[in-house]
A = this chain, B = another copy of it.
Amino acid sequence: MTNQSAGGPPEPRWLSDEEQGVWRAYLHATTLLEDHLDRQLQRDAGMPHVYYGLLVHLSQAPRHRLRMTELAQDAKITRSRLSHAVARLEKNGWVRREECPSDKRGQLAVLTDEGYEMLKRSAPGHVAAVRAAIFDRLAPEQVAQLGDICRTIQAGLQPEGGDLPWTR
């Protein structure tokens, strides 16, 4: 009898006590982890976690290069943010820009050899940090559960229909 009354604005469906608890735990866990990894990488690799992720994506791409827009999509960040980030990484000598042969508007972000070396140096420490924070703490079922949960959430937020908001 508490929802869906007639007159005014619909009573919002509040979170149950359990849901509130889960939401709080989620927020705390994710902010603590983000923070932790950001610090770890800032210390050991001289860049924030997002930037590191960009290098990782490039290192996994065919010739260590990716169109800007594609990289932005892969990393789930805006093109604007990527532009600034690549500018910074370029100053560090870890990434280089190249013109796209097939589209004169396009740019390719290319992982330099130096960037690749840096990645090889810092990867073990980073993996260890991720492992220590997550995979060494969770039971195998939990890892699988986390995967399913994240994939579900992700799917709900992805504008899968093709109406990409990466134009932002």
The verdict on A106 contacting chain B, using a C-beta distance below 8 Å, is no
The verdict on A152 contacting chain B, using a C-beta distance below 8 Å, is yes
Stretch of A61-69, A82-90, A96-104, A124-132 with 4 or more beta carbons under 8 angstroms from chain B? A124-132
A-side interface mostly: helix
Q: Which of B9, B135, B149 contacts A19 (CB 8 A)?
A: B135
Q: Which residues of A contact B (CB under 8 A)?
A: 9, 12-15, 18-19, 21-23, 25-36, 53, 76-77, 123-124, 127-128, 130-135, 137-138, 142-154, 156-158
Query: A14-B127, A31-B77 are known contacts; what are 17 more A-B pairs with Cβ within 8 Å?
Result: A13-B131, A15-B127, A15-B130, A18-B144, A22-B150, A25-B151, A26-B146, A26-B147, A27-B53, A28-B76, A29-B157, A32-B154, A33-B153, A36-B157, A133-B157, A142-B148, A146-B146
